[in-house]
């Protein structure tokens, strides 16, 4: 897996700059297009007590465009500020189903100045698709894009 190549591509996107929405869309595209096991990639942004879907790339749209912090795997990661890796979504009762093909999921919070401001949510059609290498890579991506995700209405990390 070419994690360093993807990081370089994301670095180039950030150096190019521009509207936050366009930057985040380009990053979602890179993640989706460069990794076969990243079936659907979305970036959620915190608005008040909700996660609101921003740029995403995948075969189809999700109905979960607004998720309350605390609900689902997405909401759990936002509430704790900790990455969630779920090897088998059908065995996790927190799971909010989006696509019938999804088997596993990783959700990586994006923090800025001590607050969760968003998260990277990736669904895979493969069981147990995400490992520690994905976690390390995506936590690095989250750090890189955090300034582009910071909003005035971000929520505090609840520990």
Which residues contact ligand SME (rule: CB under 6 A)?
42, 62, 64, 67, 72-75, 95-96, 98, 105, 121, 123
Give least dist CB 35 to ligand SME, A. 16
Nearer to ligand SME, 13 or 58 (CB): 58
Nearer to ligand SME, 75 or 109 (CB): 75
**N-term to C-term CA, the chain:** 33
**Cβ atoms 155, 69 nearer than 8 A:** yes
Nearer to ligand SME, 62 or 80 (CB): 62
Give least dist CB 12 to ligand SME, A. 27
- List Cα–Cα distances, 54 to 27, 40, 42, 73, 130, in angstroms: 12, 13, 7, 17, 22
Strands 84-86 and 50-57: unpaired
What are the φ and ψ backbone dihedral angles of 68, each rounded to 5 degrees? -65, 135
Kindly report the number of other CB atoms within 10 A of residue 132's CB atom. Answer: 8
Give least dist CB 72 to ligand SME, A. 2
Nearer to ligand SME, 22 or 92 (CB): 92
- DSSP assignment letter at 16: H
Nearer to ligand SME, 9 or 45 (CB): 45
Collapsed DSSP state (helix, strand, coil) of residue 9: helix
Q: Which residue is nearest to ligand SME (CB)?
A: 72
Give least dist CB 24 to ligand SME, A. 15
Give least dist CB 120 to ligand SME, A. 11
Among the listed residues 145, 148, 147, 150, the one whose alpha carbon sits nearest the alpha carbon of residue 30: 145
């Amino acid at each position: 897996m070419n994690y360093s190549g993807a990081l370089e591509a994301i670095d180039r996107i950030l150096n190019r700059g521009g509207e936050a929405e366009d930057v985040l869309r380009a990053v979602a595209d890179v993640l989706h297009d460069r990794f076969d096991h990243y079936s659907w990639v979305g970036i959620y942004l915190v608005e008040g007590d909700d996660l609101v879907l921003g740029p995403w790339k995948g075969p189809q749209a999700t109905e979960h465009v607004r998720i309350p912090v605390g609900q689902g795997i997405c909401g759990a990661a936002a509430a704790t500020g900790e990455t969630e890796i779920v090897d088998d979504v059908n065995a996790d009762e927190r799971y909010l189903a989006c696509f019938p093909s999804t088997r596993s999921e990783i959700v990586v919070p994006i923090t800025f100045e001590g607050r969760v401001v968003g998260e990277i949510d990736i669904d895979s059609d493969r069981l147990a698709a995400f490992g520690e290498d994905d976690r390390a890579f995506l936590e690095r991506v989250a750090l890189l894009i955090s300034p582009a995700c910071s909003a005035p209405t971000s929520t505090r990390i609840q520990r």
